[in-house]
Chain A
Amino acid sequence: MKLLIKGGRIINPALNMDIAGDILITDGCIAEIGQKIDGAGAEIFDATGYIVAPGLVDMHVHLREPGLEAKEDIYSGTRAAAAGGFTTIACMPNTKPVVDSSIAVSGIIQRAQNEGVVRVRAIGALSKGQEGKELAEIGDMVAAGAVALSDDGHYVSSARLFQAGLLYANMFDKVVISHAEEESLVEDGHMHEGAISAMLGMRSRPAVAEDIAVMRDVMLAEYTGARLHIAHVSSANAVEFIRQAKKRGVKVTAEATPHHLTLTDEAVIGFDTATKVNPPLRSADHVQALIQGLNDGTIDAIATDHAPHAAEEKDMEYIYAPSGFAGLETSVGVILTSLYHTGQCTLPQILEKMTIGPARILGGEAGVLQPGAAADITLIDPDREWVVDETTFYTKGKKTPFSGQKLKGKAVAVFVAGELIMKNGEVLK
């Protein structure tokens, strides 16, 4: 079985490749990449006008299964991923119950094999029940396939436990992902602290809560020599601390979300609960600092923090609505519209953060196009204009702050192991 993806612009950041050319796939793997491949006997997929990229990787997704299937499940979540252009996603363990055991990790992996259309990597909890009190059975979870450890959704307030988690995970060469926010400073806050929160009278979450938490975690990573990843960085100082730490050789990486890279707290005016997210949408100076961090390599990955909630949960007063919204299906469009088409980032830069960047953090194979690798490939039309209509989303939790926005750029086809699973936004499986 041969397939030739013909005539696209191949952007392969892991190998610094940016060429016009073809990719030949045989038996689910990449056989050849070149400027002109003779695809005799192969089925042809015409990629003229498209970017041909490694399958996109999203290292921060909430699939909500087990226990919270009304918000999302592996079936719907992986289809949302495919629709958005992703071939590999990593799911966070803050489910009900929490994914904090090898059985739970195997369960996710098994379910994903049965129900999923894209590759799913499981992230295990750092502490039992994500309670921040005792270490979870990290070794067992890693043996079962966990690719990282995180109490995402919560900051590990005990520095001692967090240090233990870093040391312990590091024995297995796994990264600890921190949701960095000093909780005593954000207690019951609903938006970024700034002029807009002052205006709306809403209890708020100051950026300094993130700064302090990132600083502590970075210092513990430096002290232990272990690998640390900061999830959804949103504050300017946090970017700076990470930048300085990297310069000192600390093994710290970081991700930013499409919404933190493009929206500000002004979106909260009007109290649309689709704008409620944690960490909150911050002011323009923070957004600029994030883009700067993306450009200079401080931020390694763009991750959606896809966090769907059932419609009725978001349909209430702002302060009672849960934080988070769907991100998988808008990610490419939002990033290309706001960062590429405005000239703030190049396509290779962006694609690096959405492929090899996160893939390296998680370890394992993904994010690179090369002979012998699985043919996980995403085709993107950078100029396709479309309007966000959440009623067409595959995700169950359809709220998005980008609703109704006109975007430019869209994933138009996705291959997983050489199989076409998404075309023109439609998931084929």
Chain B
Amino acid sequence: MKNVKVLGPGCKRCDAAVQMVKDAATKAGVEVTVEKVTDYAKIAGYGIASTPGLVVDGKVVHAGGLPKAEDVARWIRA
């Protein structure tokens, strides 16, 4: 079971990132819980300055803009 957090204030891109993670999880057959983090203080706590950011199992893997689909697939399988 993977835990993915999507960091972002909740704009269109953040929603798109959430959808990307869900799609990648379905495709890879991996069970994933997706959590949205919209609290600015928490977002800053992860050390990123640009959103959307992705945290997989507590580790920041991406910041700023939509990630590439192939990267998302790699992160949730790893």
A binds B: no
**A residues adjacent to B (C-beta < 8 A):** none
**B residues adjacent to A (C-beta < 8 A):** none
